[in-house]
Amino acid sequence: MAKKGSKTPRPPIGDPNDPESLYNYMQRFLRWQAEKNYSPKTIENREVYLRYFIQWCDERGLIKPPDITKPIIERYQRYLFMYRKIRDGEPLSTRSQHVRVVPIRAWFKWLAQQNYILYNPASDIEMLRLERRLPKHILTIDESEKIINQPNINNPLGIRDRAILETLYSTGIRRMELVNIKLFDIDTDRGTLMVRQGKGKKDRMIPIGDRALSWIAKYQNEVRPELTMPDDEGVLFLTNLSEAFTPNRLTQMVREYVDAADIGKRGSCHLFRHTMATLMLENGADVRFIQAMLGHVSLETTQIYTQVSIRKLKDIHTATHPAKLERTKNTVDQDEVDGEALLSALAAEEVEEHADSDD
């Protein structure tokens, strides 16, 4: 019987008996990535998308790396563009098309570097431009509090769930980062949380609020001792089966509380990440501090929140636009407008100008 949590090996595709087949070169590429310390999730995702490509090639009699040319890859891109999902007949999103081609480009770059092929047919392919999408939903403070108050704190697991929601709201960490929190990662005296092996296998230390710390302490003192087993590995948040959460189980739990709050918005763990960043920005936090909190490598990724941070921009509009019902003086403090809100507006404009410069 397979161990709980272990993955069943995927069946071979193409011609697994031919050492020169696309399938076997894919296996070598995946092993190389593991040797170079790529994250297991990255390797898993690349295998999924490379399998799609190899299956498509096999159906067309393309079985070895030298069979793949630039026109072949471009033809596969057109196939992805024309593809319609069996479930609902909808096309693949631009992002879905993009992520299916990225592993192919990395794979053939590796094949050329290892001298398995004479040239890289994917080196000059034109990638799809990705849309700069804003978060679909951002919670207000009242909406956030309504969700956080959903767990029944008279129930031990409700106390645990409240501690989880408070942690997500306070820190904006990713769901996998929350799943991996260990007991020793929380420093109550300093008010910090150590995020270990976050995205890109990077550690970072971030602040965590007093309210979240108090709920974590309540959970640790009153609930967690009842959930632990003799082989406790020190994971902070445990399920009722005394195991660490899986990402999907955590998503399901948070989504149920969001739905129960009946605020007309959908989402899960990432909803709190977007909300934390936007509310901090609206309250005057520098975008570079938010970048550090979120663990973004590029400031450009963080600047998306300057476009959804609308409150101060609304203040400017109310204070300065002539088309209004009543004209009052000093609607807002002009120094604050100049010093804070206008910077937020200019940051949003800078993002738009940068996007236009790519044309």
Active site residue 255: no
Q: 82: helix, coil or strand?
A: helix
Active site residue 119: no
Q: Which of 165, 136, 169, 147 is nearest to 263 (CA)?
A: 147
The whole-angstrom separation of Cα 347 and Cα 330 is 24
Query: Across the chain, which distance is largest between two alpha carbons, in Å?
Result: 81
Q: How far apart are the first and last CA of the chain?
A: 55
Active site residue 270: yes
Kindly name the residue from 174, 175, 224, 274 that is annotated as catalytic.
174
Kindly name the residue from 196, 218, 270, 317 that is annotated as catalytic.
270
The whole-angstrom separation of Cα 243 and Cα 256 is 20
Tokens 């570079």 sit at which residue? 288
Structure tokens at 213: 């710390």
Q: Under a CB-based contact definition with an 8 Å cutoff, are residues 218 and 186 in contact?
A: no
Q: Under a CB-based contact definition with an 8 Å cutoff, are residues 109 and 133 in contact?
A: no
Active site residue 199: yes
Q: Under a CB-based contact definition with an 8 Å cutoff, are residues 259 and 268 in contact?
A: no
Kindly name the residue from 51, 169, 305, 312 that is annotated as catalytic.
305
* Residue 244 backbone phi and psi in degrees, to 5: -65, 150
The whole-angstrom separation of Cα 313 and Cα 193 is 32
Q: Under a CB-based contact definition with an 8 Å cutoff, are residues 183 and 234 in contact?
A: yes
Kindly name the residue from 199, 218, 265, 317 that is annotated as catalytic.
199
Q: Under a CB-based contact definition with an 8 Å cutoff, are residues 7 and 47 in contact?
A: no
Active site residue 305: yes
Q: Show the CA angle centred on residue 329, arms to residues 328 and 330, nearest 5°.
A: 125
Q: 224: helix, coil or strand?
A: helix
Active site residue 317: no
Kindly name the residue from 175, 273, 274, 312 that is annotated as catalytic.
273
Kindly name the residue from 46, 100, 160, 296 that is annotated as catalytic.
296
Q: Which of 271, 249, 245 is nearest to 147 (CA)?
A: 271
Catalytic residues: 174, 199, 270, 273, 296, 305
